[in-house]
Amino acid sequence: MSSKVPSDVVVVGGGIIGLVTAWRSAQQGLRTAVVDPAPGGGAAQVAAGMLAAVTELHYGEETLLALNLASAARYPSFVAELTEAGGEQLGYRSCGTLSVALDADDRAHLREVHALQQRSGLASEWLSGRECRRLEPMLAPGVRGGLRADDDHQIDPRQLVKALVIACERAGVRFHRQWADRLLLVRDRACGVVLADGTELAAEQVVLAGGSHSGLLAGLPVSVPVRPVKGQVLRLRIPPAYAPFLQRTVRAVVRGSDVYLVPRENGELVIGATSEEQGYDTTVTAGGVYELLRDAHELIPGITELPLVETRAGLRPGSPDNAPLIGPTQLPGLLLATGHHRNGVLLTPVTGDAMAHALTTGELPQDVRPFSPKRFGALQEQAV
Ligand code: GLY
């Protein structure tokens, strides 16, 4: 069985990255299809939605920083355009972020982070513990100092995917709400996918945007180097009587683990996230919930008063260098949009633009070239 109308582009995976790729592709006039049993599900339903180019800067990630900043700079116009196209508010808040230290070791570490941010030309301000508590009175009395980064914002990823699905539908993207089973190849060129019900979906170009599952499609003659990195996340509710509980995102490294608290406009408080490498497992564990609550409680003792409304785990797609894989592969007709690891929500605008450029010209924009999948050399051939 084969689909009657062939597509220019078929996108495998309807998460944030697949949807933004499809939306931008359709805007270029390309006949575009998305294959996903539940578009908008997956990691977008779990992610906290921090747009944290400054506070998530790590040593050795200067090239990625440039891409993160480019995407952060596009966010205001991206939000305006998508709000219009999707008819939904996206929960975008330019609220800033406060990273705090709980003891002398944390403070020394945070001072080094501050120096790195300054060397990288990023705006952040060192505050004493007292100044941190003046900004955020719910902080623990023992906080020893902190970094204020007013350029790190947030968006609600659940609203974001909802709007992207609507924007895609309005732009003419066709949705196939089922799994893709296998890549179709003709003479060493990707030319579509076979769906779970046996339908053959022919396309000029195939984009793998299935997050950590991107490499699992049967029939791939190249390996797609992504692995799942599990993150457990909690959602609490801030009753009106407690508002404003926090004005901005508050985060810290506690016993070597990142913990962050993201207060939404709608009264939700998102607490994340674990980082676990143990395969395709999305079980919420007692240990994960305990560690998040314990660490968050050290920062903000008052969280114990709040209703805990949801616990969930998602899978970040990690690549060998934890930077994204964007654009054409060595296999003609096959492109990737995956591997965004901790930065999928932040990198959404720049990924959509870069993929539309690649799908229409065959090339990546200059600033995205370092993230070509080809940087891993000839992707090793794998047995089909
Ligand atoms: N960017 C936040 C996380 O991956 O946990």
Residue 217 and residue 353 in one domain: yes
Handedness of CA 103, 104, 105, 109 (dihedral sign): positive
| 296 inside domain | yes
**How far is it, in rounded angstroms, from Cα 21 to Cα 9?**
10
Question: In this structure, what token pair is assigned to residue 110?
Answer: 């945070």
Query: In terms of domains, do 235 and 297 share one?
Result: yes
Asked if residue 177 and residue 130 are part of one domain, the reply reads no
Q: What is the pLDDT, as a whole number, of residue 2? A: 64
The Cα-based distances of 360 to 12, 25, 76 in angstroms read 18, 8, 25
Verify that 196 and 333 share a domain, yes or no: yes
Contacts of 228 (CB under 8 A, 6+ apart): 212, 277, 279, 280, 281, 315, 316, 317, 318
How remote is the CA of residue 122 from the centroid of ligand 1, in Å? 20
- Measured in Å, residue 180 CA sits from the centre of ligand 1 at 27
Q: Which residue's CA lies nearest to atom 3 of ligand 1?
A: 342
Do 186 and 218 reside in the same domain of the chain?
yes
DSSP 83-130: HHHH-S----B---EEEEESSHHHHHHHHHHHHHHHHTT---EEEEHH
Range of the domain at 122: 97-150
Query: Which of 346, 344, 350 is CA-nearest to residue 368?
Result: 350
Give the pairing type, strands 200-208 and 190-195: antiparallel
56 alpha carbon – ligand 1 mean position (Å): 8
Question: Is 287 contained in some domain?
Answer: yes
The atom of ligand 1 lying closest to the CA of 343 is 1
pLDDT value for 297: 97
Residue 370 lies in a domain: yes
User: Do 255 and 290 contact (CB within 8 A), yes or no?
Assistant: no
**Contact (CB, 8 A) for 343 and 316:** no
Domain assignment present for 92: no
Residue 54 within any structural domain of the chain: no
Residues 287 and 371: their CA atoms lie apart, in Å, by 35
- CA 69 to chain CA mean position, Å: 14
- 110 and 242 in a single domain? The answer is no
Tokens 């609507």, residue?
166
Q: Based on the domain organization, do 286 and 240 belong to the same domain?
A: yes
**Single pTM value for the model:** 0.95
Both 222 and 358 in one domain: the answer is: yes
Peptide linkage before 244 cis (omega within 30 of 0): yes
Nearest to 81 by CA among 174, 166, 154: 166
What's the confidence (pLDDT) of residue 382? 53
User: Between helices 16-27 and 157-170, what is the axis angle to 10°?
Assistant: 30
For residue 74, CA distances in Å to 8, 46, 324, 347, 353 come to 27, 23, 18, 10, 10
Count of domains forming the chain: 3
Last residue of a domain, one of 318, 339, 366: 318
Residues 220 and 329 placed together within one structural domain of the fold: yes
Rounded to a whole number of angstroms, the distance between the first and last alpha carbons of the chain is 22
Residues 183-195 have pLDDT tens digits of: 999 999 999 999 9
CA 143–ligand 1 middle distance (angstroms): 23
Cis geometry, peptide bond prior to residue 273 (ω within 30 degrees of 0) = yes
Please tell me the distance between residue 346's alpha carbon and the centre of ligand 1 in angstroms.
10
Give the tens place of pLDDT for each residue, 209-247. 999 999 999 999 988 999 999 999 999 999 999 989 999
- pLDDT of res. 3: 60
Ligand 1, residues at Cβ distance < 6 Å:
48, 50, 56, 231, 272-273, 316, 342
Q: Which of 318, 342, 357 delimits the end of a domain?
A: 318
Domain assignment of residue 61, yes or no: no
> What is the β-pairing status of strands 249-254 and 180-185?
unpaired
Look up the CATH number of the domain holding residue 327: 3.50.50.60
62 found inside a domain? no
Domain boundary among 266, 301, 318: 318
Atom of ligand 1 nearest to the CA of 50: 1
Tokens of 354: 């870069």
Ligand 1, closest atom to CA 345? Answer: 1
Query: What is the position in ligand 1's atom list of the atom closest to the CA of 48?
Result: 2
Q: Which of 230, 295, 342, 346 to mutate to test the pocket of ligand 1 (most atoms within 8 A of CB)?
A: 342
Does one domain contain both 192 and 341?
yes
Residue 140 located in a structural domain: yes
Site to probe by mutation for ligand 1, drawn from 260, 271, 295 as the one with most ligand atoms within 8 Å of Cβ, is: 260
Q: Look at residue 83 in the predicted model and tell me its pLDDT.
A: 98
Q: Which pair of tokens denotes residue 261?
A: 């608290």
CB 127 within 8 A of CB 84: no
Strands 125-128 and 227-237: unpaired
Instruction: Kindly give the number of the ligand 1 atom that is closest to the alpha carbon of 52.
Output: 1
- Which pLDDT score is estimated for 37? 97
Q: Residues 364, 377: one domain?
A: yes
Same domain, 249 and 281: yes
Position 332 scores a pLDDT of 96
Largest CA distance in the chain: 68
CA distance 375 to 324: 11
- Reading the chain (384 residues) residue by residue, the pLDDT tens digits are 666 678 999 999 999 999 999 999 999 999 999 999 999 999 999 999 999 999 999 888 889 999 999 999 999 999 999 999 999 899 999 999 999 999 999 999 999 999 999 999 999 999 999 999 999 999 999 999 999 999 999 999 999 999 999 999 999 999 999 999 999 999 999 999 999 999 999 999 999 999 999 999 999 998 899 999 999 999 999 999 998 999 999 999 888 788 999 999 999 999 999 999 999 999 999 999 999 999 999 999 999 999 999 999 999 999 999 999 999 999 999 999 999 999 999 999 999 999 999 999 999 999 999 999 999 865 455 544
